[in-house]
Structure 1
C-alpha cells in the first residue's frame, strides 16, 4: 500500500518535471533579474542641469504628466551627435527634414522589415540554444556561451587595423600579452 503511494507520487513528480522542462515559452538566456534584491541603478536616468533664465516670465507653463526642460532626451541627443538637428524631428521621433543625416545613414541601402526578420531569426536561435535542463531550472545565464561563436575578437581586429595603417591611439593593450 505504501509502496503504491510512493510509486504514484514518484510518477506524478516525474511527469511534473517533464512538463516543466518542455515549456515552449520565449527562451531567456540572460536572466538579468536572477537573485536581484536591490533596485536597478540603471533604471534611474540623470536629468539635465537646472538652469535659471534671465527672465522668469519666459518659463513655459507647467504641464503635469508632460515633458520637462530637464528631462533626458536620448534620441534627440543622438541625432545631434550624428550631426542632425533635433528641432527637425517630428513628435513621433522620426526625422522629417534632415536629409543629410538620412542620406548618410542609408548610404548602403535600407532593407524593409529587417527588424522583424532579425527578431524572428534571433528567437529561433535562442530556442535552439536554450541551455541544459538544470540551467533552465536554476535560471543560469547561458547567453555568453550561446553567442560565443559570433563574438568579435577585439584584439585580432585591432591588430588587423594597425597592420593596415589605421591609427588606433585609444585602444587598450591586450591583457593576455602582459
Structure 2
C-alpha cells in the first residue's frame, strides 16, 4: 500500500513538472507582463548589393566606416518626404518649412524612454485580474481596448466631412 502511494505521488509530481514545462502557445510579444516588446527600429533591411560600372570609383574602405549597403533610415525618410539627404550642417534650407511644421508643438529628445515608461505604467495599472495573472492569460487587447481606433467610424467621419480618402476601400452601394 505504501509503495503504491509512493509511486502515485511520483507520477503526479512528474506530471506537474512536465505540465509546468509546456508552453501555452500565447504569443510572447503580446504578453503584457514581460515588459519587453519588439524594437521596431532594431531590424533594418540591407540595401541590395550592386556592381558599379567602374571599379575605380569605389571608395577606400575605412575601419568603422559606413558600407554602401548599410541602411540609412534618416536619409531614406528625408528622401521620402521630398528632401535632399546629406546636407552639411543640419536642416537644408528647402526643408526648413517642413521641419518647422513638424516641430511646431515642440520636440522632445527622449521621446522613446518617455513613451516606454508611460506604457509600462499603463500596463502595470491594467495588468488583469488575479486569475489572469496567475494563469498567464493574455490581456493585451483588453488593456488597450479604450485606445483602439474604430476604422470604419473614422472613415465615415472623414467622408462625411468631405475629405477625399483615396487609399481607403471604395464606398459600398448602401453608403451612397
Whether these two folds match at TM > 0.5 is yes
Tell me, yes or no, if the aligned pair for 2:46 and 2:69 is still in contact at 8 Å.
Answer: yes
Highest relative contact order (Cα 8 Å, sep 6+), 1 or 2? 1
Structure 1 position 70 matched with structure 2 position 73: no
Structure 1 position 97 matched with structure 2 position 91: yes
How many correspondences in the alignment? 134
Tell me, yes or no, if the aligned pair for 2:35 and 2:120 is still in contact at 8 Å.
Answer: no
Q: 1:161 to 1:114 in 2, by over 3 A?
A: farther
Q: 1:30 to 1:51 in 2, by over 3 A?
A: farther
Q: 1:51 aligns to what?
A: 50
- Per-residue displacement from partner, 1:67-86 (whole Å, max 9, x unpaired)? 21112222221122122222
Provide the C-alpha distance between the structure 2 equivalents of 1:79 and 1:30, rounded to a whole number of angstroms: 37
Give the match's secondary structure for 1:61: coil
Which residue of 136, 147, 150 maps to 1:150? 147
Provide the C-alpha distance between the structure 2 equivalents of 1:85 and 1:77, rounded to a whole number of angstroms: 9
Q: 2:60 aligns to what?
A: 61
Tell me, yes or no, if the aligned pair for 2:47 and 2:70 is still in contact at 8 Å.
Answer: yes
Q: CA deviation at 1:64?
A: 5.0
Give the match's secondary structure for 1:86: coil
Q: CA deviation at 1:126?
A: 1.3
Give the match's secondary structure for 2:144: helix
Taking structure 1 as the reference length, the TM-score comes to 0.59
Structure 2, unmatched stretches of 5+, are 1-30
- Per-residue displacement from partner, 1:128-175 (whole Å, max 9, x unpaired)? 11123444355443222101101111110100111111111321379x
Structure 1, unmatched stretches of 5+, are 1-27, 34-41, 91-95
Tell me, yes or no, if the aligned pair for 1:131 and 1:142 is still in contact at 8 Å.
Answer: yes
Tell me, yes or no, if the aligned pair for 1:31 and 1:141 is still in contact at 8 Å.
Answer: no
Q: 1:30 to 1:60 in 2, by over 3 A?
A: farther
Provide the C-alpha distance between the structure 2 equivalents of 1:173 and 1:134, rounded to a whole number of angstroms: 44
Q: 2:15 aligns to what?
A: none
Taking structure 2 as the reference length, the TM-score comes to 0.59
Structure 1 position 165 matched with structure 2 position 162: yes
Q: 1:85 aligns to what?
A: 84
Q: 2:32 aligns to what?
A: 29
Bigger mean CA offset, 128-137 vs 158-167:
128-137
Q: 1:45 to 1:111 in 2, by over 3 A?
A: closer
